[in-house]
Amino acid sequence: MSHAEHVNGELPHEPEKATLEGRNKVLGFWLFLGGEAVLFGTLFATFLALRGQNNEGPTAAELFSLPITAAATLILLVSSLTSVFAIQALHRHNIEKLKLWLIVTVVLGLGFLGLEIYEFYEYVVHESFNMKTSAFSSAFYTLVGFHGAHVAFGVVWISLLIAQLYRKGLTVVTAPKVYVSAMYWHFIDVVWVFIFSVVYLLGKVG
Amino acid sequence: MTANQQSNEGPTVKHRHRVEGPEKHIVVFIFSIVLTAIAFAAVAAGGINTAFTIILLLVMAVLQVFVQMGYWMHLKDKGHLMPILFMIGGFFVASTCIVMALFWVWW
Amino acid sequence: MAHAHASSHSVKRYTGIMDWLTTVDHKKIGILYLIAGGFFFGIGGIEAILIRLQLIKPMNDLVSAQVFNELITMHGTTMIFLGVMPVIFALMNAVIPLQIGARDVAFPFLNSLGFWTFLFGGLLLNLSWIMGGAPDAGWTSYTPLSTNDYSSTHGVDFYTIGLQIAGLGTLIGGINFLATIITMRAPGMSFMRMPMFTWTAFITSAMILFAFPAITVGLVLLSFDRLLGANFFDVAAGGSPVLWQHIFWIFGHPEVYILILPAFGIISEVIPTFSRKRLFGYSSMVFATILIAFLGFMVWAHHMFTTGLGPVANALFSIATMLIAVPTGIKIFNWLFTMWGGQIRFTSANLFAIGFVPTFVMGGVTGVMLASAPADFQFHDTYFVVAHFHYVIVGGLVFGLFAGLHYWWPKMFGRMLNETLGKWTFWLFAIGFHMTFFVQHFLGLLGMQRRIVSYLPNQNFDELNFISTIGAILMGIGVLLFLANIVVTTRKPVGVAADPWEDGRTLEWSIPSPPPEYNFKQIPLVRGIDAFWKEKMAGNKEMTPSEPVGPIHMPSPSILPFVMSLGLFIAGLGFMFSTEDFSNSFMSLIFNKYIVLIVGLLITFAAMIARSLYDDHGYHIEVEELEGEGKA
């Protein structure tokens, strides 16, 4: 299934949609995101139910640092924008720009992960706040940790796609993969919007 | 068109397709920054009525999600009926989980 | 830019076992689901017989209380997740692409992955029997009974991790059928011209998509509590046991509609065919299915009326639950109106379908009784509930599956099941079923609790329990007769007409039995509901094609789904035993240091990377080959 379809020597206009397999991949991924909405919804529900149960341990208001959260938010938001630029480069068939913007996205993703690992390290080592501390802590680490794991998976995935673009170039086979990874990346930014609002900001409000 | 077989749905007439510029997306970005800033500011300032702050945070979040999904994820473009239906379905079931958590876990 | 031409490389084709391990063909995957599902159904059946033998008389001591708790837990878990759901997927795989005029599902590779994850998840769950004990906290695994405080063996870990892996397979399958039905229908087949089995498969798949992520989270939370010291359900640390119940039933209630909707679809195929009459009220059937699915997500707390949610919550959930009876009733009337005035043929398939109707109604009405929260305070945790759900799951779903298997067996295997044996199967199974479960309504009303290993004599339970056990044995004999039917049938040569029932209405009956690898030589043109019937009424023996004959592109087989699932299986074992105290230092090293877990995950990720890096060129079936088959 890897014929590179060329019309008059050119890649089709929206290469990710040029084949049935490509269109199916995009639709299939939207369906998967619908399921992910329920997955994160259940995790959020668990967090909301247990956010007040700190078992004599640290509370949200005591723990969270707004500057770090703001920095992480900014990094992820910019990375979502750079992945938009990547797809625009894809539609312009500009593979060099595409690779560039994907690399920037990955670097920003790594930056986000670095901040989060630093944040968790501080909590575990200096605040005695770990998975076992309380129901609140378990819910916090599971929700935010699941999101972080999604970011990490995305970083690995997009890195592998960048490598594929170097090896195989932009074709009607690689284009849907890139498009779908950008959908994924936007989605984890959408989830983060709810995380910083419901976990961190709401945590500070009380 | 047969299943499992590729086909090219590109144009047979050679003409340039206008690829959209980045302007709309940058506007969405700035809008997101503004909404985020408002949310952070409301909490950092403190002293604002709690219930109002919560509603503000939610409205900021929902607005941001709408524009990001509409523009960056192209939900507002044509050919996205099924994605919209299934995202609504997902958010609907997620919202029943939220109602459960807020009203029926502690009493 | 990379160019690749499929015609210039050798075609990768396997035979024998490797063919089955690597297939991405929906027809073969359907058969795999049927064999595996049938196997687990048998295990669940043996567990049921043992339960009923223990309960045949008061104060029996056939099995210990511990083993009894494991039996009831595994019976429910195995039957639902590993028995009937795979058989549903077997029929969906075998039939849906044919009914919509497609050559395969949207994602053949994922289809295979869905099967193998189910199989390895089911194997992991059942390994518990010989690895320290099966889970024993009920198929609903309520906390705190299922947390480390009260469940210190690994049984519940097998439950959380085995179901987690199997559940991934179901979710993958759901996404696959949704995409397939959305994008791969033949030209002319609008949504409102799809067969009812396809419609119910579509709605069921949407329910799977939205319900399974909730149980995914629930199982994660429980396994984190057990294996990582989390506190979701630990009251002392601020957790809430009721949270588990909510999350489980937010999944669990839609799950039972996921079970029954495909059966509704099967009945909507079988009854019209054997009444020689179109389905009455097609549009209202579609609408009713959608309404049942939607309402199904809003009623979960009717499993929790006695937890103390309060009268407002109880009232809301009572009313919502009773509402579901309305669209369900519409369906029942439509089936009756379909039969009215038809020329009815009492084939085995139709016996099961007709038997379904009153039996499911009986289960449905006890459901409405249970829906009344005040009444449920009396029924809850008694055999009345057990009677209700077996009426709808066995009398409903399993009858429907038997109907579907008898109906589509010739299409799947090119042979007809023996009708005499089929009728014996029906009567033994149906009579045995009513014997087993009708009396359980009264046992419940008399006060017999669920999930008890034994009961005292002289409570008026004795005779009814005895009858119930005899009924179960009859059901077992019926199932054995069905197996005998399969053996007898398999000995016959393959060679049955495309339309062996002669009254086929839908597209699967327009192609040979069994179909060729590519299903349709030419994708058909659909001109209305009951597409094949429409052509027959217009005097055509075959469907009008919508395209010329051309080379057909097929996806390549692959061992990677098997490898990915094996990796998850190994990782599951690694996670489960990561907190175990080993006396052997090597075991301690590889488990307590998470090496087994990591190796398992690496195997899965390596297979995923291989899948992404190496493009599947597929292969072509050329026109000469197609024309040759047509002349056979």
pLDDT in tens, C448-486: 999 999 999 999 999 999 999 999 999 999 999 999 999
Q: How many CB atoms lie within 10 A of CB C390?
A: 20
The yes-or-no verdict on residue C13 having pLDDT over 90 is no
Across the interface, whether the CB atoms of A41 and B54 are under 8 A apart is answered no
Across the interface, whether the CB atoms of C238 and A160 are under 8 A apart is answered no
Task: With cut-offs at 50, 70 and 90, classify the pLDDT of residue A77.
Answer: very high
The yes-or-no verdict on residue B8 having pLDDT over 80 is no
Of C107, C213, C232, the CB nearest to A135: C232
Q: Tens of pLDDT along A79-125?
A: 999 999 999 999 999 999 999 999 999 999 999 999 999 999 999 99
The yes-or-no verdict on residue C4 having pLDDT over 60 is no
**CB-based burial label for B43 (10 Å; 0-12, 13-18, 19+):** buried
Q: Tens of pLDDT along C560-612?
A: 999 999 999 999 999 999 988 888 899 999 999 899 999 999 999 999 999 99
Q: Tens of pLDDT along A1-39?
A: 334 444 556 789 899 999 999 999 999 999 999 999 999
Of A34, A164, A171, the CB nearest to C1: A171
Q: Which residue of C has its CA nearest to A141?
A: C230
Task: With cut-offs at 50, 70 and 90, classify the pLDDT of residue C615.
Answer: confident
| pLDDT given at position A9 | 61
Query: In the structure encoding, which two tokens stand for residue C257, read together?
Result: 């509609």
Q: Tens of pLDDT along A172-197?
A: 999 999 999 999 999 999 999 999 99
- Picking from C568, C624, C434, the residue whose alpha carbon sits closest to that of residue C164 is C568
Task: With cut-offs at 50, 70 and 90, classify the pLDDT of residue B16.
Answer: low
Cβ-based contacts under 8 A for chains A and C? 136
| pLDDT given at position B17 | 64
Q: Is B38 helix (H, G, I), strand (E, B) or coil?
A: helix
| Residue-range domain boundaries for chain A | 15-205
Phi, psi of C553 (to 5 degrees): -95, 125
Residues in a beta bridge with C382: C449
Task: With cut-offs at 50, 70 and 90, classify the pLDDT of residue B14.
Answer: low
Chain A environment of C553 (Cβ under 8 Å): 1
Evaluated on CA atoms A61, B95, C165, C26, the torsion sign reads negative
For residues C445-454, one letter each, b for 16 or more C-beta atoms within 10 angstroms of the residue's C-beta and e for the rest, the string is eeebebeebe
Question: Residues 31..50 of A with a Cβ closer than 8 Å to C: which?
Answer: 31-32, 34-36, 38-39, 42-43, 45-46, 49-50
Distance of CA A203 to the CA centre of its chain: 22
Evaluated on CA atoms A33, A35, A41, A43, the torsion sign reads negative
Q: Which of B31, B33, B97, B107 to mutate to test the interface with A (most CBs of A within 10 A)?
A: B97
User: Looking at the complex, does the CB of residue B86 fall below 8 Å from at least one CB of chain C?
Assistant: yes
Q: Tens of pLDDT along B20-35?
A: 789 999 999 999 999 9
Across the interface, whether the CB atoms of C214 and A34 are under 8 A apart is answered no
Read off the pTM: 0.95
Q: Which residue of A has its CA nearest to C248?
A: A42
- Picking from A6, A12, A9, A10, the residue whose alpha carbon sits closest to that of residue A176 is A12
Of A2, A50, A171, the CB nearest to C238: A50
Q: Superfamily assignment of A15-205 in CATH?
A: Cytochrome c oxidase, subunit III, four-helix bundle (1.20.120.80)
Query: In the structure encoding, which two tokens stand for residue C324, read together?
Result: 């579901």
CA distance A171 to chain C (A): 7
Those residues whose C-beta lies under 8 Å from the C-beta of residue C502, and which sit 6 or more positions away, are none
Q: What is the mean pLDDT of residues C149-178?
A: 96
| pLDDT given at position B4 | 45
User: Looking at the complex, does the CB of residue A28 fall below 8 Å from at least one CB of chain C?
Assistant: yes
User: Looking at the complex, does the CB of residue C239 fall below 8 Å from at least one CB of chain B?
Assistant: no
User: Looking at the complex, does the CB of residue B76 fall below 8 Å from at least one CB of chain A?
Assistant: no
Torsion angle, CA of C16/C22/C26/C31, rounded to 10 degrees? 50
- Picking from C195, C74, C189, the residue whose alpha carbon sits closest to that of residue C128 is C74
Q: What is the mean pLDDT of residues C111-125?
A: 98
Across the interface, whether the CB atoms of B43 and A66 are under 8 A apart is answered yes
Task: With cut-offs at 50, 70 and 90, classify the pLDDT of residue B1.
Answer: very low
Q: Which of C232, C244, C250, C611 to mutate to test the interface with A (most CBs of A within 10 A)?
A: C232
Q: What is the mean pLDDT of residues C389-413?
A: 98
Across the interface, whether the CB atoms of A131 and C229 are under 8 A apart is answered yes
Chain A environment of B72 (Cβ under 8 Å): 80-81, 84, 186
Over pLDDT 70: what percentage of chain C? 97
Q: Tens of pLDDT along C238-295?
A: 999 999 999 999 999 999 999 999 999 999 999 999 999 999 999 999 999 999 999 9
Question: Residues 371..410 of C with a Cβ closer than 8 Å to B: which?
Answer: none
